[in-house]
Amino acid sequence: MKAAVIRGADGKISDLLYGTVVEIFHNTGSNIWEKVDTWNFTGLDKLSSKELRPALERLTEKLAGVDLAVGTSFAGLVCQSLTRAGINLCLMDDFDPECLSELAEAAIAPQAAPVSMVPVETEPGSGLFELDLTAALSYDPESSSKKILRPFFNQTPFLELRLIFDHIPPWLGPELEKRGLQAMTTKTGTNYLTRIFHSNLKCT
């Protein structure tokens, strides 16, 4: 099994969009992980959405054979590119190679049903993303709506984001206003469906 660890220019663990270094670790057996490769990359955060997709495809090809990616955040297009390549994603703020075996076991353990922890594009290139935030927070109680949505807003160009809540987070309204976004909310049973879009676009 191989794992890719994303680091920034300061050497600290980072996310793929703002990272600059990928370290590849290989499990040589008996829970021993050896660093076998290191390579640099730059500029993903500077790319437009049109440029980002082919850049991520090239990066994903370079990660061929990697089973596990470790970083501080994987959102939007980054998340989709890696998961479509069959790479399991693990979020960490600090990294210790000794934790890789535990992360690998958790990643390959069978799960009753996959739960998306980030908004997912409904069709490649559509710009329409969806996330059942109620299900995500139930699956990982240690997460939060801020931890999930702020990286998405920072990193992912989108036309519309559709969210399912059991309650609307009080921080979301001011956050959307600050970012020039608008929302339309309707109640569906016990949940709320919120459609978020840019203020200069009409939501139909």
The token duo for 133 is 């935030």
* Bridge partners (DSSP) listed for residue 132: 164
What is the per-residue pLDDT across 18-57, written as a single tens digit (0 to 9) for each? 888 999 999 877 778 889 999 998 768 878 777 888 888 8
> Of 136, 184, 194, nearest to 162 (Cα)?
194
% pLDDT > 90, the chain: 26
Is 115 within a domain?
A: no
Q: Are residues 17 and 95 in the same domain?
A: yes
Is 137 within a domain?
A: yes
pLDDT at 158: 92
CATH code for the domain of 12: 3.30.420.130
For 72, residues 6+ apart whose C-beta sits below 8 A from its C-beta are 6, 13, 14, 15, 91, 92, 93
What is the per-residue pLDDT across 62-97, written as a single tens digit (0 to 9) for each? 998 898 899 888 777 777 788 878 888 888 888 877
Is 133 within a domain?
A: yes
> Of 39, 78, 84, 34, nearest to 62 (Cα)?
39
**Could you give the number of structural domains in the chain?**
2
> What is the per-residue DSSP string for 47-82?
S-HHHHHHHHHHHHHHTTT--EEEES---HHHHHHH
Q: Are residues 11 and 99 in the same domain?
A: yes
